[in-house]
Chains A and B, each alone.
Chain A
């Protein structure tokens, strides 16, 4: 199963952009890259996902490297409410019902 590697923690100032990296060097051709986040004492929530092209939605942007071995989640203006653990997940093409969460990146946002 393809795995992801993320930094354990990152820090950002409020209202500044945040770039959260993820390495997935063993990604296969039809693995989608998903990002979820988990606010303190809550269940994870969906943020964004993509395959090859960069993606934007109301929460964030996802930049995917040309070789797809890495990706970056971009929060354009971090707020205190964005402090959470962010998980980069590859959707297993052979077991489409299984999501493999790593340990994620804990984002701390300073006022």
Chain B
């Protein structure tokens, strides 16, 4: 049981380049999330997907697009990378149990540097 996996682990981009961050979970969770974490700060939600086929904006969605490919996979795309998108990106999935209760499981992160 690998949990939540993310690829790549590290990436360097030039301003204006595009790339897709991949995330997969093998826990059969319905909900998946993308966060970014800037140095010395907490995580901020970019997008989330409550279930297969649905996506919603989080706190900081500008400059990003997402695709919930199937129940297992949730990708994050940067169409035209900017230096302000230099950050560590975390994917998570969650298991609900009871009303208003769920536990989120996080991947190891992707470190992105935009020059």
Chain A contacts to B: CB under 8 angstroms = 30, 32, 36, 41-46, 49, 87, 91, 93, 96-104
Contacts and interface: CB of A to CB of B under 8 A. Distances in A.
Shortest Cβ-Cβ A-B pairs, 7 listed:
A43-B106, A101-B42, A101-B43, A46-B103, A103-B42, A43-B90, A44-B106
B13 interface: no
B44 interface: yes
Contact of A103 (B33, B35, B40, B92): B40
A100 B94 CA distance: 15
B41 A93 contact: no
Contacts of A96: 100, 102
A87 B35 CA distance: 15
Contacts of B31: 97
A97 B56 CA distance: 10
A43 B100 contact: no
B61 to A, nearest CB: 12
B108 A42 contact: yes
Interface of B is mostly: strand
A25 to B, nearest CB: 19
Given A43-B92, A43-B106, A43-B109, A99 B100 contact: no
Given A32-B100, A96-B102, A97-B31, A43 B41 contact: no
A93 B108 contact: no
Given A44-B106, A103-B41, 14 more contacts: A42-B108, A43-B90, A43-B92, A43-B106, A45-B105, A45-B106, A46-B105, A49-B103, A91-B100, A93-B100, A97-B50, A97-B56, A98-B48, A103-B42
B9 to A, nearest CB: 11
Interface string B73-115: 0000000000000000010101000001111111111000000
A96 B45 CA distance: 13
Kindly name the residue among A43, A99, A102 whose own CB sees the greatest number of chain B CB atoms within 10 A: A43
Contacts of A44: 43, 90, 104, 106
B15 to A, nearest CB: 26
